[in-house]
Amino acid sequence: MTDMTKIELDIVAISHSVSQSHNYAVVLSEINGNRRLPIVIGGFEAQAIAVAMERMAPNRPLTHDLFKNTLETFDVGLQEVIISNLLDGIFYARLICERNGEIFEIDSRTSDAIALAVRFNCPIYTYEFIMESAGVVLDGEKEEGETKPEPKMRKDVNSFSRYSLDDLNEMLSEVLGDEDYEKAAKIRDEINRRKVEGD
């Protein structure tokens, strides 16, 4: 049974991709736990989130500022953002809005939803089943236990399909230690694919 327990998240970092200059990862951390949720986003979306987090004021409104102004003009408030699903490595989100006491939902790309959440200063949530599937625990935050040596990443590898599941899990620990969240997300996606396929 899918665990639909809501978990509140906080933005802890926007990490530039080491391997691909046009990719970024926004890193969300559960407020009452030690897991993090890295989500790969494009450069424009990363800029839109960073501008709002730094309280920068562009000369003309960016797309997300325009959308916020439009909602406010029509007396629509953004109550919360929910990262609601994860299918084939793609995150889905919903905007939970309110107008005159009526609650309604709007589908959204996750990066756009996060950019709006920062502008409206509203909470970001996801569900436990998504954290179980895609959440990661940083090495420094792991409980005492396994201390297996971590393999060195092969820098010439673009695909992780030829690695064993054990190797992938160890590589995931290594790239998280290096804070390379974009590569961690790719490794995590490969691990999830193996679980689905029963490999």
Structure tokens at 71: 């909602």
Tell me the domain boundaries of the chain: 6-134, 139-197
Please tell me the total number of residues recorded for the chain in this structure: 199
Q: 52 pLDDT exceeds 60?
A: yes
Instruction: Tell me which of 126 and 46 has the higher pLDDT.
Output: 126
Q: 24-33, 71-80, 132-141, 150-159: which has the highest mean pLDDT?
A: 71-80
Tell me the pLDDT tens digit for each residue of 70-108: 999 999 999 999 999 999 889 999 999 999 999 999 999
CA distances from 144 to 54, 140, 163 (A): 36, 10, 26
Instruction: Tell me which of 155 and 160 has the higher pLDDT.
Output: 160
Q: Which pLDDT score is estimated for 1?
A: 67
Tell me the pLDDT tens digit for each residue of 107-125: 999 999 999 999 999 999 9
Instruction: Tell me which of 119 and 61 has the higher pLDDT.
Output: 119
Written as one letter, the residue type at 23 is N
Give which of 116, 118, 125, 94 is closest to 31, Cα–Cα: 125
pLDDT confidence bin for 187, thresholds 50/70/90 = confident
Cβ atoms of 77 and 69 closer than 8 Å: no
DSSP assigned state of 157: -
DSSP codes, 6-35? EEEEEEEEEEEPSS-TTEEEEEEEETTSSE
**pTM for the whole structure:** 0.71
Indicate if the alpha-carbon torsion angle 45, 161, 137, 152 is positive or negative: negative
At the fourth CATH level, the homologous superfamily of domain 6-134 is Bifunctional nuclease domain (3.10.690.10)
Give which of 148, 146, 150 is closest to 184, Cα–Cα: 150
Per-residue H/E/C for 111-123: HHHHHHHHHHCCC
Tell me the pLDDT tens digit for each residue of 138-149: 765 444 443 333
Instruction: Tell me which of 55 and 132 has the higher pLDDT.
Output: 132
Indicate if the alpha-carbon torsion angle 133, 189, 111, 50 is positive or negative: positive
CA distances from 151 to 24, 167, 169, 186 (A): 24, 7, 10, 17
pLDDT confidence bin for 19, thresholds 50/70/90 = low
Rounded to an integer, the average pLDDT of 21-49 is: 88
What is the end-to-end Cα distance of the chain in Å, rounded? Answer: 22
